[in-house]
Structure 1
Amino acid sequence: MARALFQGEPPEEQIEVCPVTDTQNIIAGKWKVIILWHLSKQTRRFGELQRLAPGISKGILTRQLRELEDDQMIHREVYKEVPPKVEYSLTSLGKSFIPILDSMGDWGKKYKELRKS
């Protein structure tokens, strides 16, 4: 379930007027879009995700992965091995977000080009 960006629940009129609120709540967090982007390319382990997002702490990565799992955007697979092996992948719901990630990437490229001119 998506966490609200507000203290308590957002006002009812905002939920009805702005359908972007749920999406914003799901991807809110400095690293969530980056995590989803990397998982859109392939299944990753925790250490891989941490290396792909320099500057993210273990605690923040753990929390954002848990939130994405709670929102059913990613799947966490734990293998019963020693040492334990954990892999993260997109769920079907997470995969449905890939076109949005692609659009964000396209927009980012255009924005960068426009800023140069």
Structure 2
Amino acid sequence: MIRVLIADDQPLVRRGLALILAPDPAFEVVGEAEDGARAVALAHELRPDVVVMDIRMPVLDGVRATEELARTLPESRVLALSTFDMDEYVVAALRAGAYGFLPKDISP
């Protein structure tokens, strides 16, 4: 089972992603975070296999949170998530240590 932490400042996005993953027994959503600082704290506590990380969040943005997790919890893989699919955001997320990038406007 793949343990997933969802980090996004929009509750509807967090809930929607959790609902998409819920029917698949291969995934377990172990937590949700509303900002990057909370995502880092929860990741250290819950040790998810994957962190779905929004790039633009309050307190600590997703790029900086990804850098922190890549440095301190490299076994948790970060998948960057954003409404911004411009090259600069994709490159920043990948350079920070994200293993992939998922635009929010992609079909389920």
TM-score (norm 2): 0.28
Higher helix share: 1
Higher strand share: 2
TM-score (norm 1): 0.27
Q: Max radius of gyration: which structure?
A: 1
